[in-house]
């Protein structure tokens, strides 16, 4: 017999799932403001003697203001010297107590993440270090020169990877003049033009209480969590609110960029502006894309491109929701003589889905997958901390996780068809192809 | 984990963590399937992993890549499941699934809500013995794997260099074989090769079932008996060990590929747990590798990336937990304006220092504290816990080492680190590979620049 979804003998003592309604408490989010005015989202997780911290600032590359790479290099420099400690001292303070810290700038957000044991003095030493790093970075000239040189090496290395080249190019084509067009790490020219004063100014303007949110998950009590959030934000200047980002414009016509590259595969990227994090169509487009190209081995794109035709190892589509409309991108890579053919299959699959929407079976399967997998999304302190930072940063409702499954389940096939027709227009997609088979006009090279 | 008093410089910090892990429970079914269960009730989920003792180090010339290709075909139908149906059923149950092939193992996993475990067992039991391997599905999937090789290896110059490096460093050892297989062997692969490979290695007595999550072990054992118990065992021959002859002098290769940045790989043949030498040697090599690259405060970051800024990045790695002896592996990318020769000299000087002087006790203490913390952090993921149990068991060391290895590492002394440096990190034991970038416009390099590649600005 085939395995079906009939009721298996349930292992006793385990949770029973009824339909898509999960009889499991989602994390209880507690919120408050620190004395500095920074919103805090906290989930108590007493089982493991550890704490996860994420502090998010509106300090991503969308704020580069023409100096591409500025936000990213600023984030890179924070742990290279702060207050009385140099880079060695910061590394030693964290690693001597087994703490892990990372700081990264993406397009909207720069975030500092810290994971520490909760025992003392490990926790205090780690928190003290994080607080200093976000509020008192040195931006010393030698550290700046070294880190900038390493970013330039990294950017040069990106140029030997056809996938990375294509990824950067499709963002440029989709977003045109909008700040989302630029790769957060910048370009060789833009990074070479930065100086340490630029970084110090960027930090002073953006790493401020007005633009911060704190997420905490771990084995601390509410009073302890309050004290921690206060400690972490006490050194931040109050700051000024940032102006909103400009809206993302729709590209007027389809565009095709060919990038010559001596690879054995041709990489195809195609897409357009997609949706905002707070988009009214968010759940509809999310479920729709899950069916189209977001569900790994069982997506329509995987079925058409890989399972039926063996054209590509990797094929997918995604919406990256941002403060303003982030991208919708579909991509694959295939041996060079199949590049055009694979692209046609990709486009035909997107077009068919846009015209017809999902079948009832496809929709049911997707909803079961997403809602049935909900416990996996929130299994682990690290995952919950990421959700908290996202909810806080984008101002999503605090019951976002509680209502997640209900909102997924409410999506209909007609909603998806309607939303894709309104929002997705393959006739105006930007497309980038990277590979040697592409006869590139010289001026099309980046 | 036994608590030991660990002193940290300036802080006198005893990192004593009291979260005692529930023990792994073990059951051997009559057909030889080993079932390992660890309870973790923090979330109502479970991960189920089936680990087979087969991987690229079980392969031989002409047949390389067969383990990985078979892993792909495990999703392509059984006597009761149509191609792709396995994945559709797991997806419809909210599951997250995949598989991976390494040198020493091939593993399949599903993570799902805990009450869906029977679905995972039923499906995995099916494909353990009743895979159909249809020819037409094989032919398509072979093309998919060739695309995977193009993407991961052919078009990635550092990956190409690593592949050639391994094939140079290892001679008789099957660790010379790339997991994805040589391109020529993929060209020749037949579905009959996979059928033979499947028959030879896929049986309950060559597998370990690992379950970690919100489960009751006795109930998991009963469920395993129900689904896997009826499967028949196979006679399994132990894989050949294929030991390398002693290396008799440094080996050095250049790898030319379209690229922008040079890349350096250096490897010293060493040992692994269960192989020749003192029991503590693999643990001392683990600590040695962490002294060099165990975080941003370790020597490579502190002295080569910051300090001298001869490296844009530099790494060291070693695994004590492999089936066959591996290497202490160093790699790096020169910093702007520095040559790959300068980087190599800097790495060699670091090795020389390990031979010349004992590491500081404070360095080892920092690593011990990182290890203790990492053991706690690891418990945030049922997947990571199961993966560790499964890999230790499958390389032949036993899951018990999961609870003991931190203690073994804690016992390593500065003198032991120095001793393994002197024994293994010697010039005659070294293999070096240099990625020599070729122009990306496809034209021949006019003036080959042997080894070095000093950058002119950016």
DSSP state string for A350-367: HHHHHHH---HHHHHHHH
Q: Tens of pLDDT along B57-93?
A: 999 999 999 999 999 999 999 999 999 999 999 999 9
Supply the residues of B annotated as catalytic: 71
Q: What is the pLDDT of residue A41?
A: 98
pTM of the model: 0.92
Chain A contact set for B140 (CB, 8 A): 307-310
Q: Tens of pLDDT along A62-100?
A: 999 999 999 999 999 999 999 999 999 999 999 999 999
B residues 284-323 lying closer than 8 A (beta carbon) to A: 294-298, 301-302, 305-306, 309, 312-313
Q: Are A64 and A182 in contact (CB under 8 A)?
A: yes
* Bond into A121 cis (ω within 30): yes
Domain ranges of chain B: 25-228, 251-438
Where does residue A296 fall: left (phi above 0), alpha (psi -120 to 50 degrees), or beta otherwise? Answer: left
Q: With an 8 Å Cβ cutoff, is B458 touching chain A?
A: yes
Q: With an 8 Å Cβ cutoff, is B196 touching chain A?
A: no
Chain A contact set for B183 (CB, 8 A): none
For residue B441, name the pLDDT band (cuts at 50, 70, 90): confident
Chain A contact set for B45 (CB, 8 A): 375-376, 379
Contact A97 B8 (CB under 8 A): yes
For residue B457, name the pLDDT band (cuts at 50, 70, 90): very low
Tokens 């010559």, residue located = A260
CA distance A302 to A298: 6
Q: With an 8 Å Cβ cutoff, is A445 touching chain B?
A: no
Q: Tens of pLDDT along A8-65?
A: 322 222 333 333 334 456 899 999 999 999 999 999 999 999 999 999 999 999 999 9
Contact B302 A335 (CB under 8 A): no
For residue A441, name the pLDDT band (cuts at 50, 70, 90): very low
Structure tokens that stand for A134 in this block: 């976000």
A residues 201-260 lying closer than 8 A (beta carbon) to B: 260
For residue B403, name the pLDDT band (cuts at 50, 70, 90): confident
Structure tokens that stand for B281 in this block: 């040697």
Query: Which residue of A1, A9, A11 is the best one to mutate when testing the B interface, meaning the one whose CB has the most B CBs within 10 A?
Result: A11
CA distance A114 to A191: 27
* B444: pLDDT strictly greater than 80: no
Residue B21: closest C-alpha in chain A = A48
CA-derived radius of gyration, chain A: 23
SS3 B101: strand
Size of interface A-B (CB pairs under 8 A): 279
Q: Alpha carbon B159 to chain centroid distance?
A: 15
Contact B13 A297 (CB under 8 A): no
Contact B309 A146 (CB under 8 A): yes
To the nearest whole angstrom, how far is the Cα of B345 from the nearest Cα of chain A? 20
For residue B3, name the pLDDT band (cuts at 50, 70, 90): very low
Q: What is the pLDDT of residue B243?
A: 86
Q: With an 8 Å Cβ cutoff, is A365 touching chain B?
A: yes
Classify B25-228 by CATH class.
alpha beta
The residue-averaged pLDDT of A199-213 equals 98
Contact A365 B95 (CB under 8 A): no
CA distance A34 to B108: 46
SS3 A276: strand
Q: What is the pLDDT of residue B447?
A: 42
- CA distances in angstroms from A342 to A347, A433, A440, listed in the order given: 9, 11, 19
Q: What is the pLDDT of residue A16?
A: 32
* B302: pLDDT strictly greater than 80: yes
* B7: pLDDT strictly greater than 60: no
Q: If we measure between CA atoms, which residue out of A371, A342, A363 comes closest to residue A411? A: A363
Residue A251: which residues within 8 A CB-CB, separation 6 or more?
A173, A174, A176, A272, A273, A428, A430
- Inter-helix orientation angle A122-135/A222-233, to 10°: 30
- The overall average pLDDT reported for chain A is 92
For residue A438, name the pLDDT band (cuts at 50, 70, 90): low
Q: What is the pLDDT of residue B20?
A: 57
Q: What is the pLDDT of residue B5?
A: 32
The residue-averaged pLDDT of B157-182 equals 97
Chain B contact set for A334 (CB, 8 A): 147
CA distance A387 to A396: 10
* B448: pLDDT strictly greater than 70: no
Q: With an 8 Å Cβ cutoff, is B80 touching chain A?
A: yes
Q: Tens of pLDDT along B197-222?
A: 999 999 999 999 999 999 999 999 99
Q: Tens of pLDDT along B129-168?
A: 999 999 999 999 999 999 999 999 999 999 999 999 999 9
A11: nearest CB among B112, B216, B261: B216
Which helix (DSSP H) or strand (DSSP E) does residue A384 occupy?
A: helix A381-394
A297: nearest CB among B75, B220, B437: B75
Q: With an 8 Å Cβ cutoff, is B13 touching chain A?
A: yes
Identify the CATH number of the domain defined by range B251-438: 3.30.830.10
Do the first three CATH levels of B25-228 and B251-438 match, i.e. the same topology?
A: yes
Superfamily of domain A255-444: Metalloenzyme, LuxS/M16 peptidase-like (3.30.830.10)
Q: What is the pLDDT of residue B15?
A: 57
B residues 113-132 lying closer than 8 A (beta carbon) to A: 113-119, 122-123
Which helix (DSSP H) or strand (DSSP E) does residue B96 occupy?
A: strand B96-101
B residues 214-273 lying closer than 8 A (beta carbon) to A: 214-216, 219-220, 223, 258-261
CA distance A97 to B9: 11
Q: If we measure between CA atoms, which residue out of A89, A95, A58 comes closest to residue A74? A: A58
Q: Tens of pLDDT along B331-384?
A: 999 999 999 999 999 999 999 999 999 999 999 999 999 999 999 999 999 999
Q: What is the pLDDT of residue B452?
A: 36
Q: What is the pLDDT of residue B130?
A: 98
CATH assignment of A34-233, among 3.40.30.110, 3.40.1390.10, 3.40.50.150, 3.30.830.10: 3.30.830.10
To the nearest whole angstrom, how far is the Cα of B162 from the nearest Cα of chain A? 16
Residue A46: closest C-alpha in chain B = B42
Q: What is the pLDDT of residue A3?
A: 33
Residue B66: which residues within 8 A CB-CB, separation 6 or more?
B59, B181, B189, B193, B194, B197
Residue B374: closest C-alpha in chain A = A98
Q: What is the pLDDT of residue B291?
A: 98
B118: nearest CB among A9, A155, A371: A9
- The overall average pLDDT reported for chain B is 92
The residue-averaged pLDDT of A165-190 equals 98
Contact A309 B380 (CB under 8 A): no
* B172: pLDDT strictly greater than 70: yes
φ and ψ of A271, to 5 deg: 170, -165
* B451: pLDDT strictly greater than 90: no
* B8: pLDDT strictly greater than 50: no
* B114: pLDDT strictly greater than 60: yes
Tokens 């290769």, residue located = B253
Q: Are B347 and B293 in contact (CB under 8 A)?
A: no
> What percent of chain A lies above the pLDDT cut of 70?
92
Q: With an 8 Å Cβ cutoff, is B143 touching chain A?
A: yes
Contact A376 B333 (CB under 8 A): no
* A240: pLDDT strictly greater than 60: yes
Q: With an 8 Å Cβ cutoff, is B44 touching chain A?
A: yes
Q: What is the pLDDT of residue B276?
A: 80
Ordered alpha helix ranges (H), B76-182 = 85-92, 117-129, 135-149, 157-169
Which helix (DSSP H) or strand (DSSP E) does residue A43 occupy?
A: strand A39-44
Chain B contact set for A371 (CB, 8 A): 94
Residue B121: which residues within 8 A CB-CB, separation 6 or more?
B48, B223, B224, B226, B227, B228
Q: Alpha carbon A248 to chain centroid distance?
A: 18
Eight-state DSSP code of residue A137: B
Q: Looking at this predicted complex, what is its ipTM? A: 0.91
Q: If we measure between CA atoms, which residue out of A222, A386, A15 comes closest to residue B43? A: A15
* B4: pLDDT strictly greater than 80: no
Q: Are A34 and A210 in contact (CB under 8 A)?
A: no
Residue A187: closest C-alpha in chain B = B458
Q: Tens of pLDDT along A107-152?
A: 999 999 999 999 999 999 999 999 999 999 999 999 999 999 999 9
| Cα three-residue angle A362-A383-B315, rounded to 5 degrees | 110
Residue A278: which residues within 8 A CB-CB, separation 6 or more?
A394, A395, A396
A95: nearest CB among B113, B144, B366: B366
Domain ranges of chain A: 34-233, 255-444
């Amino acid at each position: 017999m085939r395995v079906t979804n009939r009721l298996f003998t349930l292992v006793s003592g385990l949770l029973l799932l009824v339909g898509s309604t999960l009889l499991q408490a989602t994390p209880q989010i507690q919120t408050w403001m620190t004395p500095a005015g920074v919103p805090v989202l906290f989930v108590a997780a007493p089982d493991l003697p550890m704490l996860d911290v994420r502090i998010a600032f509106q300090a991503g590359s969308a704020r580069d203001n023409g100096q591409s790479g500025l936000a990213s290099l600023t984030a890179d420099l924070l742990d290279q010297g702060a207050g009385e400690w140099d880079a060695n001292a910061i590394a030693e303070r964290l690693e001597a107590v087994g703490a892990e810290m990372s700081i990264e700038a993406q397009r909207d957000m720069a975030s500092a993440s810290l994971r520490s044991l909760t025992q003392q003095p490990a926790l205090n030493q780690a928190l003290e270090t994080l607080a200093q790093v976000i509020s008192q970075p040195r931006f010393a000239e030698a550290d700046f020169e070294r880190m900038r040189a390493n970013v330039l090496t990294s950017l040069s290395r990106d140029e030997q990877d056809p996938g990375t080249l294509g990824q950067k190019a499709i963002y440029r084509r989709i977003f045109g003049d909008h700040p989302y067009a630029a790769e957060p790490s910048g370009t060789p020219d833009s990074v070479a033009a930065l100086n340490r004063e630029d970084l110090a100014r960027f930090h002073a303007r953006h790493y401020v209480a007005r633009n911060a949110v704190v997420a905490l998950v771990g084995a601390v009590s509410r009073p302890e969590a309050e004290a921690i959030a206060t400690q972490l934000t006490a050194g931040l200047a109050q700051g000024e609110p940032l102006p909103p980002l400009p809206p993302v414009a729709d590209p007027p016509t389809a565009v095709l960029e060919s990038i010559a590259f001596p690879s054995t595969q041709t990489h195809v990227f195609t897409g357009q502006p997609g949706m905002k994090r707070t988009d009214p169509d968010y759940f509809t487009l999310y479920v729709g894309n899950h069916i189209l190209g977001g569900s790994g081995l069982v997506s329509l794109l995987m079925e058409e491109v890989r399972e039926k035709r063996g054209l590509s190892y990797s094929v997918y589509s995604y919406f990256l929701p941002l403060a303003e409309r982030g991208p919708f991108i579909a991509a694959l890579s295939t041996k060079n003589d199949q590049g055009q053919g694979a692209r046609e299959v990709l486009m035909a699959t997107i077009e068919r889905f846009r015209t017809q929407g999902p079948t009832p079976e496809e929709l049911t399967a997707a909803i079961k997958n997403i809602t049935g997998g909900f416990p996996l999304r929130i299994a682990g302190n690290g995952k919950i901390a990421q959700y908290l930072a996202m909810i806080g940063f984008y101002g999503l409702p605090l019951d976002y996780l509680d209502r997640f499954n209900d909102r997924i389940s409410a999506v209909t096939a007609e909603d998806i068809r309607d939303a894709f027709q309104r929002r997705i227009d393959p006739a105006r997609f930007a497309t980038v192809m990277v590979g040697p088979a592409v006869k590139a006009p010289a001026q099309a090279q980046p | 984990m036994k608590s030991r008093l660990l002193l940290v410089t300036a802080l006198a910090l005893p990192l004593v963590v009291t979260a005692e892990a529930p023990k792994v429970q073990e059951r051997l079914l009559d057909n030889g399937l080993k079932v390992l269960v660890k309870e973790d009730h923090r979330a109502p989920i479970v991960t189920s992993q089936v680990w087979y003792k087969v991987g690229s180090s079980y392969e031989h010339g002409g047949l390389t890549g067969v383990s990985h290709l078979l892993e792909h075909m495990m999703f392509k139908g059984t006597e009761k499941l149509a191609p792709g149906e396995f994945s559709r059923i797991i997806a419809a149950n909210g599951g997250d699934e995949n598989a991976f092939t390494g040198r020493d193992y091939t593993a399949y996993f599903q993570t799902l809500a805990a009450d869906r475990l029977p679905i995972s067992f039923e499906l995995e039991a099916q494909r353990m013995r009743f895979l159909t391997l249809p020819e037409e599905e094989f032919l398509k999937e072979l093309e998919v794997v060739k695309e995977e090789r193009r993407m991961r290896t052919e078009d990635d110059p550092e990956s190409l260099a690593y592949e050639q490096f391994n094939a140079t460093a290892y001679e008789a050892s099957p660790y010379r074989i790339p997991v994805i297989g040589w391109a020529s062997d993929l060209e020749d692969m037949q579905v009959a090769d996979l059928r033979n490979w499947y028959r030879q290695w896929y049986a309950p007595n060559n597998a370990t079932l690992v379950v970690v999550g919100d489960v009751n072990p006795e109930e998991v054992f009963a469920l395993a008996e129900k689904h896997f118990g009826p499967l028949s065992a196979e006679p399994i021959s132990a894989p050949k060990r294929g030991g390398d002859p002693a290396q008799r002098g440094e080996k050095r290769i250049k790898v030319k590929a379209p690229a922008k940045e040079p890349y350096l790989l250096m490897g010293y043949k060493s040992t692994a747990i269960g192989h020749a030498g003192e029991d503590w040697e693999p643990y001392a090599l683990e600590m040695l590798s962490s002294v060099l690259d165990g975080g941003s405060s370790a020597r490579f970051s502190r002295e080569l990336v910051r300090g001298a800024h001869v490296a844009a990045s530099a790494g060291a790695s070693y695994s004590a937990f492999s089936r066959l002896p591996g290497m202490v592996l160093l790699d790096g990318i020169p910093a702007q304006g520095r040559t790959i020769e300068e980087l190599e000299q800097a790495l060699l000087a670091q090795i020389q220092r390990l031979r010349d002087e004992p590491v500081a006790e404070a360095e080892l203490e920092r690593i011990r504290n990182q290890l203790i913390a990492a053991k706690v952090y690891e418990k945030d993921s049922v997947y990571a816990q199961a993966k560790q149990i499964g890999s230790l068991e499958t390389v032949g060391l036993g899951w018990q080492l999961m609870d003991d290895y931190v203690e073994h590492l804690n016992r390593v002394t500065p003198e032991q680190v120095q001793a393994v440096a002197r024994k293994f990190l010697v010039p005659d034991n070294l293999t070096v590979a240099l990625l020599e970038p070729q122009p990306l416009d496809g034209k021949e390099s006019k003036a080959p620049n042997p080894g070095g590649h000093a950058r002119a600005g950016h």
